[in-house]
């Protein structure tokens, strides 16, 4: 069996630059540059952590966390928003950690599809938790 190459852990508590920013709360995209102080440009991949906590009336929706590849394609993962009937107020939280290839442009694009989140009852963010060296 082939061995698994070690990866480099990144702790946002000791390297605050690993906290890229908030998840968008309205439909649309935000592009976060990945600082070289967090992940060297020569890395093979990144370990992305996305999370949210929300209270209020929700609609179904999801975020895509995507990286651009050399061939023009994207690799991405989704983080779902749980919803209830439109008349119900709910509390929800979710998180996802996923490996993505190192983006050709050194950035992570986060897009909210469909959902609209209550501005006063929403928190969420995107962080780098590690990388795979070449």
| Residue bearing tokens 């107020």 | 89
What size, in residues, is the chain?
A: 134
Residue 27 near residue 115 (C-beta atoms within 8 A):
yes
Provide CATH code, domain 19-132.
Answer: 2.60.120
| Separation CA 32–CA 3 (nearest Å) | 32
Residue 31 near residue 96 (C-beta atoms within 8 A):
no
Per-residue pLDDT tens digits for 31-43: 999 999 999 999 9
pTM summary value: 0.90
CB atoms within 10 A of CB 21: 14
- Facing residues of 40 across strands? none
15, two tokens: 């390297």
What residue ranges do the domains of the chain occupy? 19-132
pLDDT of 85 over the 70 cut: no
84 — pLDDT class (breaks 50, 70, 90): low
89 — pLDDT class (breaks 50, 70, 90): confident
Residue 46 near residue 39 (C-beta atoms within 8 A):
yes
Per-residue pLDDT tens digits for 47-82: 999 999 888 877 778 999 999 999 999 999 999 887
Percentage of residues in the chain with pLDDT exceeding 90?
68
């Amino acid at each position: 069996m082939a061995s698994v190459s070690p990866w480099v852990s990144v702790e946002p508590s000791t390297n605050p630059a690993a906290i890229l920013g908030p998840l968008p709360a309205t439909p649309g995209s935000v592009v976060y540059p990945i600082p070289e102080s967090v992940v060297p440009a020569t890395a093979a991949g990144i370990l992305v952590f996305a999370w949210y906590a929300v209270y209020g009336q929700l609609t179904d929706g999801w975020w895509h966390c995507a990286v651009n590849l050399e061939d023009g394609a994207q690799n991405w993962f989704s983080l779902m928003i749980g919803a209830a009937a439109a008349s119900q107020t709910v509390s929800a939280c979710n998180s996802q950690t996923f490996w993505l290839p190192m983006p050709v442009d050194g950035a992570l694009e986060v897009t909210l599809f469909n959902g609209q989140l209550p501005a006063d009852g929403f928190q969420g963010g995107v962080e780098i938790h590690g990388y795979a060296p070449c």
